[in-house]
Amino acid sequence: MEPNYYKTKESVEEYIKLAKDVSGKELIDKLRNVLKTDSCLLEIGSGPGTDWRILNEYYDVIGSDNSTEFLKHLITRNPTGVFIELDASTLMTDRRFNGIYSNKVLHHLKDNELIDSIKRQYGILLSHGIICHSFWKGEGSEIFKGLYVNYHTEPDLLNFFQDYFEILSIESYKEFEDDDSLLLIGRKR
Using CB under 6 A, list all residues that contact ligand SAM. 6, 19, 22, 24, 44-45, 47-48, 50-51, 65-67, 70, 87-89, 103-105, 108
Q: Which is nearer to ligand SAM, 10 or 166 (CB)?
A: 10
Q: Alpha-carbon distance 71 to 83, whole Å?
A: 7
Nearest to ligand SAM by Cβ — which residue?
47
Q: Which residues contact 180 (CB under 8 A, 6 or more apart)?
A: 136, 137, 138, 174
Q: Which is nearer to ligand SAM, 47 or 99 (CB)?
A: 47
Question: Is residue 12 within 8 Å of 73, Cβ to Cβ?
Answer: yes
Question: Is residue 24 within 8 Å of 61, Cβ to Cβ?
Answer: no
Q: Which is nearer to ligand SAM, 142 or 166 (CB)?
A: 142
Q: What are phi and psi of 12, to 5 degrees?
A: -65, -40
159: three-class secondary structure by DSSP? helix
Question: Is residue 45 within 8 Å of 105, Cβ to Cβ?
Answer: yes
Nearest-approach distance from CB 188 to ligand SAM, in angstroms: 21
Q: Which is nearer to ligand SAM, 65 or 156 (CB)?
A: 65
Nearest-approach distance from CB 46 to ligand SAM, in angstroms: 6
Nearest-approach distance from CB 106 to ligand SAM, in angstroms: 8
Number of Cβ within 10 Å of residue 21's Cβ equals 6
Nearest-approach distance from CB 170 to ligand SAM, in angstroms: 19
Q: Alpha-carbon distance 183 to 185, whole Å?
A: 7
Q: Which is nearer to ligand SAM, 26 or 166 (CB)?
A: 26
| Count of residues making up the chain | 189
Nearest-approach distance from CB 151 to ligand SAM, in angstroms: 14
